[in-house]
Amino acid sequence: MTEASMRNFIGGDWHEAKTADSLPMIDPSTGEAYGEIADSGERDIDRAVAAARQAFDEGAWGRLTATERGRLLTRFADAVAANADEIAGIEARDTGKPMRVARADAAALARYFEFYGGAADKFHGETIPYLDGHHVAVINEPHGVTGHILPWNYPAQMFGRTLAPALAAGNATVLKPAEDASASALRLAALAAEVGFPAGAINVVTGRGATAGAALASHPGVDFVSFTGSPEVGQIIQKLCADHYITCTLELGGKSPQIVFADADLNRAVPVIVNAIVQNSGQTCSAGSRLLVERSIHDALVERLADAFARVRVGTPAMDADCGPIITAKQQARVQSFIDRARSDGIPVLAQGRLDPALPAGGFFVAPTLFGAVPRDHAIAREEVFGPVLSILPFDDEADAVALANATDYALVAAVWTRDGGRQMRLAKRVRAGQLFVNCYGAGAGIELPFGGSGKSGHGREKGFAALHDFSKTKTIVIDHR
């Protein structure tokens, strides 16, 4: 149990939640509770929003220059790097990730703060030629207080992805981590105070979505919301924001296709395809969960993939296998029900990964599963499983590949594997996605690269300079100096 686990970090200090209720912290590798977090409510969110408001309007945070904010972010990046093993250990226990993956997440967290620390004073406005005798300047201003509602799949990385650009742009922040994985956010709040973030710049309140999360999105003192999670809750968030006339970014997952043509370099493609779906046990918004294969190489590719899939090891963080358990018993049951339904509908299982016989009995483990050929209208071809399940869909030609790639409600990430330069460009333009990779894949990679979707994948952009635009608003100043 982490020291501060029953308390929220508000206004630069730890506070008992106003509710006496708690939520268990469960280790997904064993299914056992190892601590508690506060099940906070509306009054705790009120307090956090007030602290952020004060920091932004009157406190030390609001008076910092962009350069000073950037320095603080950079200092935090250094502190994360210096404490990376501890942060990775907290994250691995809370989410079940292999230690190697949790360490990579801690490195990505540091990189987010490094990138936005450097970007803070390079996020310029512009001047616009206008009428004679007039000067027009367009400046970027922070929204004010931003609310951040996080998922459980990459809690530490997400802390960086959403908070670093918001802080670099000058906002004061209130973050509600997912109730199933809040430990790293609490530790990182303490670390932010240690490196000198002024009181109220970063506030962390734990609790459930329907209570603490809804209170944050609907709070009249919140000026913008950044949400990552399910499409269903994304719709709720957008409606809550609309009620008080603010906007939000929604990052809601995907059913991302990898499209493999007959001329692709399969030696390069196969390990990338496998990693893109087993990474984080498939609990990745940008997981490559659909494999579209040109019919003429279907059998050859399936043979290689089945071999690679059968070698995937599932284990606890300490075993440092290829992937860990699913986050909760509920999510495990959901993923397993997709697998069971596909099997009972007669879709062939081409390969499955290995569950170590020494795995703890209570852990939420699921064997990575390769399905093919999947009928195009089947649930595992269209719906987000959010587990290590890859669906193979054969296609006939380029036009068929594009139609199939675009045949879900999602549009987040896509990959095209071909050596044909013309085809690379044609598909890059015609496939619907916020990020499109050619002969590579970047599930979650690239802090510098704008990222986000459309349709059921959500809207708005994170990462890169695009996130700074979303976390700010322009003000156009027109001066008549005649």
Residue ranges binding ligand NAD (CB under 6 A): 149-153, 176, 178-179, 208-210, 213-214, 217, 228-230, 233, 236-237, 251-253, 285, 331, 334, 384, 386
State which residue, 119 or 413, has the beta carbon closest to ligand NAD: 413
323 included as an active-site residue: no
Q: Minimum distance between the CB of residue 131 and ligand NAD, rounded to whole angstroms?
A: 46
Q: Minimum distance between the CB of residue 66 and ligand NAD, rounded to whole angstroms?
A: 30
Question: Judging by DSSP bridges, how do beta strands 134-142 and 472-480 pair with one another?
Answer: antiparallel
Q: Minimum distance between the CB of residue 232 and ligand NAD, rounded to whole angstroms?
A: 7
State which residue, 62 or 155, has the beta carbon closest to ligand NAD: 155
* Contact call for residues 441 and 287 (beta carbons, < 8 A): no
What's the rounded Cα separation, in Å, for the pair 198 and 173?
Answer: 12
- Contacts of 341-348 with CB under 8 Å at 24 or more apart are 341/379, 341/380, 342/371, 342/374, 342/378, 342/379, 342/380, 342/389, 345/378, 347/371, 347/372, 347/373, 347/374, 347/375, 347/378, 347/380, 348/372, 348/373
Q: Minimum distance between the CB of residue 191 and ligand NAD, rounded to whole angstroms?
A: 21
From the list 28, 50, 76, the residue with the least C-alpha distance to 323 is 28
* Contact call for residues 216 and 45 (beta carbons, < 8 A): yes
Q: Minimum distance between the CB of residue 480 and ligand NAD, rounded to whole angstroms?
A: 46
Across-strand partners of 33? 26
State which residue, 198 or 253, has the beta carbon closest to ligand NAD: 253
> What stretch of H or E contains 55?
helix 42-57
251 included as an active-site residue: yes
State which residue, 322 or 384, has the beta carbon closest to ligand NAD: 384
Q: Minimum distance between the CB of residue 168 and ligand NAD, rounded to whole angstroms?
A: 22
State which residue, 90 or 181, has the beta carbon closest to ligand NAD: 181
State which residue, 135 or 208, has the beta carbon closest to ligand NAD: 208
Burial 337-361 (b: 16+ CB within 10 A, else e): ebbeebeeeebeebbbbbbeeebee
3-state class percentages of the chain: helix first, strand second, coil last, to nearest 5? 40, 25, 35
Q: Minimum distance between the CB of residue 233 and ligand NAD, rounded to whole angstroms?
A: 3
Marked catalytic residue, from 179, 285, 294, 384: 285
State which residue, 153 or 184, has the beta carbon closest to ligand NAD: 153
CB atoms within 10 A of CB 272: 18
* Contact call for residues 405 and 382 (beta carbons, < 8 A): no
Residue nearest to ligand NAD (CB): 209
Q: Minimum distance between the CB of residue 69 and ligand NAD, rounded to whole angstroms?
A: 26
State which residue, 70 or 213, has the beta carbon closest to ligand NAD: 213
Marked catalytic residue, from 114, 251, 294, 384: 251
Burial 228-266 (b: 16+ CB within 10 A, else e): bbebebbebbbebbeeeebebbbbbbbbbbbbbbeebee
**Catalytic residue list:** 251, 285
